[in-house]
Amino acid sequence: MSGTTLLINLAGAIALLLWGSQMICNSLLRGFGSPLRLWLGQHLNNRWLALLCGVGITGVLQSSTAVSLMASSFTAAGTLGLAPALAVMLGANIGSTLVVQLLSLDLSLAAPVALLAGFLCLRLRDDSRFESIGAALIGLGLMLLALGTLGATLGAVEHTPVLRLVMQSLDGDLLLALLVAVVLTWMCHSSVAVVLLVASLAGTGLLSPATSMALVLGVNLGGSLPSLLGASGNVARRLPLGNLLVRLAGVALVLPWIGPLAQLEGVRQLPGALLVVYLHSVFSLVLGLLFIGFTEPMGKLLTRLLPAPPPVTDPGMPLYLDEAGLEVANIGLANAAREALRMADMLSGMLDRVLQLLRTSQVANAEQIRQIDQSLDLLSAAIRAYLADIGKEGISDQDADRSQEILLLVINLEHAGDILSSSLAQLAVRRLRRSEPFSAFELGTLVPLHQELLASLSLAVTVFLREDLATAHQLVARKENVRRLEAAAGREHFRQLREDRSAWAESGDIFQRLLRDYRRVHHHIAALAYPVLERAGERDIEHGYLGDPLAETLPGQSHDTREDSRCAS
C-alpha cells in the first residue's frame, strides 16, 4: 500500500472518530440538554458533588468541551459560583479519561451492535428523545469502527520510512512533542480522539515512553483551548482560563520528570498503549484531587484577573448572546431568553416615561421613549438572528418549542414598543405642543390603563419563565378589564364633549386614539399567554383561545383591524 493511500486512510479514520464523538455529544444535548441543564443548575453547590457530576456527564457526553460550555453559561448567568464550576471542570477532565479507557479496550463486536441498536431506536419510535438516543448509539458505533480502522492503518504505517522519520524527530525533543500535541488537540477539538491516536501510535512501537508521555501532557493542555478561545467576554472566559491554569500547573510539575519516569522499570515494561491511557488517567485524577481544595481562592483570583466589563452604554447591544452557546442548543436558548427579559425591562422603562410624559407635560420624555425603542429594535434583531443560528444544526422538539416562545416574546415586545414610540407618545406630544395638557378626567382614565399594562407585563414575564397555566389564564382575563376601562372612558368622554361644545375636537380625537393604543399594547402583552394555553389544549390555532372571544388572531399578529372595527361599532 502506497504512502498516499495510508495517509488518506489515516485521515479518514481520524475524521470518522471525531464525527462519531461530535454526533454523540450533539445528539444527547439535543434530546436531553434542557433537563440536564436544569438538573445541573440545582445540584452543583457542593464541590465534591460538582466533581462527580463533571465525571458522570462527561462520561455520557464524551466531550469535556460541552460540559465546559454548560458550566460557563451557569457562571455567566450568576446561577452557579465559579468555585463549584471549577470543580465541575476537574471532574470533566477525569470523565474524559474514563471514556479513553473504555474505548481503548477491544470492542470490535460492540461496533455493529451499537449501530444496529441505534438504527432500531431511530426506526421504532417517532420521538425526539428516541431519535437522540439512536443517533448517539450510531455515533458510538462509528467511533468504534474508526478505532478499528485506525489500528489497522497504523499497523501498516509502522513500516513506512516517512512516519519513522517524523517520530524520530519528536523523540529527541519533548517540548516539540508537547507543542505538536497541543496544536493537534486544538485543531481536532477532541482530547479523547487525540489520546486514542497517541495510544495507537505508541502501541505500534513508534513512540518511546518519554515521547508518549510528552504527547499526553500536550493533549491535556490543548484540550482546554477550544472552550477558552470560543468564549466571549471576561465572565465567560473565567472558567476555561481556570481549567487551562490547572493543566498548565500539572504540565509544569510533570514535564521535567518525564526522563526519569520513563527509565523506571515498571514504566518500561508497560505496553505503549496502556502507558498512554494510564498516564492520561492518573494525570487528571491527581490534578482533580490536588486542586479541589483550592477552587475558592482560584475563583477569586480569576475574578480579579478577568473583571466584569463596565455597563454597555447602548442597552440595545446584546450582553449574553455568546457565540459558544450556539454549539449547545439549550445554552443558546438560555442566552436568548435572558436577552428577551432585558427587552421586557426596556418596555417597562418606556411605559414609565410615557406616564411621566402624560403627567408632567415634558416633551423631552418623548425623545427618551424614541431612544429606548431604537435600542429595543436593535436587541430584537440580534436575538432573532441568534435564534436562527441555533437551529442550523437541528434541535429537539422541546428546544424548538422554546425557541418559538422566545421569538413570540421578542416580536410582541418589539411591536408594543413601536406603538408606544411611534403612536402613543407622538399623539401625546401633539397635544402638549398646543399647550393643552391632559385634564384630570383624562389622566384619571389613562393612569388605571397604564397600571393594567404594567401588571400584565409582570404576569407575562412570569408566564414566560414558569409556564404556569393559572397565570396564563389570569393574563388573558385582564384583556376584558382593559376593554371595559376603554369603553367606559370612551362613553364618559363623549358625554363630556356633548355637554361642553367649546372643547376642541382634535383634542378629543387624540384622547380616543390614546385609549386605543393602550389596548393595542395590552393585546401584544396578553398574546404571550397563548403558548401555555395551546399546550394545555385550551386554545386552537383556527378559532383562538376558547375562553376569550376577543382572541381571533394568532399571537404576534396585528389586532388593529379587529380593534378598529370594534371601536367604530
Q: What is the DSSP string of 452-493?
A: HHHHHHHHHHHHHHH--HHHHHHHHHHHHHHHHHHHHHHHHH
- The model carries a pTM of 0.55
**225 vs 188: CA distance, rounded Å:** 11
**27 vs 25: CA distance, rounded Å:** 6
Q: Where are the alpha helices (DSSP H) in 172-208?
A: 174-188, 191-203
- The predicted pLDDT at position 70 comes to 67
> Identity (one letter) of the amino acid at 124?
L
- The predicted pLDDT at position 569 comes to 32
**465 vs 483: CA distance, rounded Å:** 27
Place of cell 389596548: 519
- The predicted pLDDT at position 549 comes to 35
CA distances from 40 to 24, 34, 36, 69, 83 (A): 19, 10, 6, 13, 15
- The predicted pLDDT at position 502 comes to 52
DSSP 310: P
**363 vs 144: CA distance, rounded Å:** 70
Degrees, nearest 5: CA angle 305-295-60:
110
* Polymer length of the chain: 569
**20 vs 142: CA distance, rounded Å:** 5
DSSP 557: S
Does residue 361 contact residue 432 with C-beta atoms inside 8 Å? Answer: yes
- The predicted pLDDT at position 329 comes to 75
Does residue 211 contact residue 177 with C-beta atoms inside 8 Å? Answer: yes
**138 vs 145: CA distance, rounded Å:** 10
566 CA to centre of own chain: 43
Does residue 431 contact residue 507 with C-beta atoms inside 8 Å? Answer: yes
Query: Average pLDDT per run of 10 along the chain, which is 569 residues long?
Result: 69 76 71 65 70 77 66 65 82 81 69 84 74 82 75 61 66 82 77 78 78 88 80 76 90 88 80 84 88 87 81 72 72 86 91 86 83 90 87 71 89 92 86 78 82 89 86 87 82 72 58 85 89 74 39 40 37
**132 vs 480: CA distance, rounded Å:** 44
- The predicted pLDDT at position 391 comes to 62
